[in-house]
Structure formats: structure tokens, C-alpha cells
Amino acid sequence: MTEAALFEAFGGVRGMVETVLPGLLFVSIYTINKNLHMAAIAALAVSLAMVVVRLARKDTVKHAFSGVFGVGFGVVFAMMTGNAKDFYLPGMLYTTGLALAYIITAMAGVPLIGLMLGPIFRENLSWRTRNPGRKKAYTKASWAWGLILLGKSAILFPLYWWADTTQLGWVLVALKIPPFLLAVYLTWVFLAKAPPPIDVFAEMEAEERAEEERAEEERKAAREREGARHAEDGEATTTGRHRRP
């Protein structure tokens, strides 16, 4: 596993762009003309456009769809309250909830990072019972993500109450990428020192091949027994004919 592979597993450069662009567009438009409706519609439109592009290219749409839902909820909140700052509130609540999920699952011994990355690295949940060193690395990584996201929330929520919309928006945009990159880097550091993943998919494929080989050997043995039986029957028939008076 390389740092680049892990970075791509979390969405890569394209995922970061899809995460940052709607909020950047919203705060830019609102900073210029203070028009909540125009800023909200533009942010939602660019999110939908990114989903359409991914669908057209038959790429994975997980990150783009999550962006659309986040922007959509933000638009609904802001439109309902008439307060432009509420555009950011759903995303902030999601960040806090995700931080708690990382920490709680790490404390419970089922770190969320392991649940997310296990299928990507073809190990599924084998790290829980068969690879304790890797489980420890996933636990550390989940703690890192949880604490980093909690720190981000600790900065944003006071600004939500005390700062104006443009100040909150620009700080939020500025905090999109650096905490993410830090968390990905720490995850790579922990996993790079951990034992390699157990490729459960390769194990299943090997078991299937072994089962097919056993079945083929059994069929071959059955054919040989059947051939031997027919040979014995033929020999017995020939012997019986020779004994006739």
C-alpha cells in the first residue's frame, strides 16, 4: 500500500475538488452580492453537474453524491431560515457526528477506518480476528480522524455563532483540505508500519480453485472406476462364452 493508493481510496484530487467547489462557489457569490438564493442555486447546480460528469464517464459517484446531499441539505436549511450561515450547518453537524463515530468505533474495537478500508484493500474484516497489528493501526487512524474532525468542529461552531456568513464561509473553505490531508497522512503512517492485509478474496479464490480441483479429481476417479467396472464386466462376459460346451 502506498500513500498515493490510500489518498485515492479517500477520493483523491477529484474528490477534494468536489468537496470544496460548492462551498467555495457559495461563499464567493455571497461575498460579492449577498444574494442567498443565487449563491445557493449556484452551489447546488455545480454539485449536480459534477454528478452528471461522473455518470457520463461511468466513474464512481460516491463522493459526488455525498456532496449533492450535503449541499442540498444546506440549501434547504438556509432557505427555510433565511440565514445564509445555515447553508454550512448540516455539513458542520455531519463533521461532528463523523468525528464521534470514529472515536466511538475505535473505543468499541471496531474502528470505522477499518470498516471503510477493509474492502478496498481486499481484507474485509479479517483484521479484527486474524491481524491484530493491523487492527491496532486502524484503531490509531480512527482516533486520528476523530480528533482532527473534532478540532475542526471546535473552530467552526464558535464562528457560526459569532462571525458573519462570509467569515465563516472562508474559514470553512480553508479548513476543507488541510485536516483531510493530515488525517490521510497519519492513516498511511499507521498502516505502513502495520502488517500487510490478509487478502481474503485471494483466499476465497484459492479455496474455490482447490474445490474445483478436488471435484475434478473425484470425477476422474469415478470415470476410472466406471471404466474398470466395464472392463471387468466385459472380461467376465468373454470368459463365460469360452466356458460354454
pLDDT tens for each residue of 25-66:
999 999 998 998 899 999 989 888 888 887 787 776 666 666
- Model pLDDT, residue 70: 82
As a whole-number percent, the residues of the chain with pLDDT over 90 amount to 47
H/E segment holding residue 38? helix 36-56
- Model pLDDT, residue 212: 81
Contact 174, 163 (CB under 8 A): no
In the structure grid, which three cell numbers stand for residue 185, read together?
A: 497522512
The residue-averaged pLDDT of 165-175 equals: 93
Contact 126, 200 (CB under 8 A): yes
- How far apart CA 184 and CA 9 sit, in angstroms, is 10
Contact 89, 160 (CB under 8 A): yes
Confidence band for 219, pLDDT divided at 50, 70 and 90: confident
In the structure grid, which three cell numbers stand for residue 24, read together?
A: 467555495
b/e per residue, 108-129, with b = 16+ CB within 10 A?
Answer: eebbbbbbebbeebebbebbbe
Statement: the pTM of the whole predicted model exceeds 0.85: no
Residue range 179-199, pLDDT digits in tens: 999 999 999 999 999 998 888
User: How crowded is residue 209: how many other Cβ atoms within 10 Å of its Cβ?
Assistant: 10
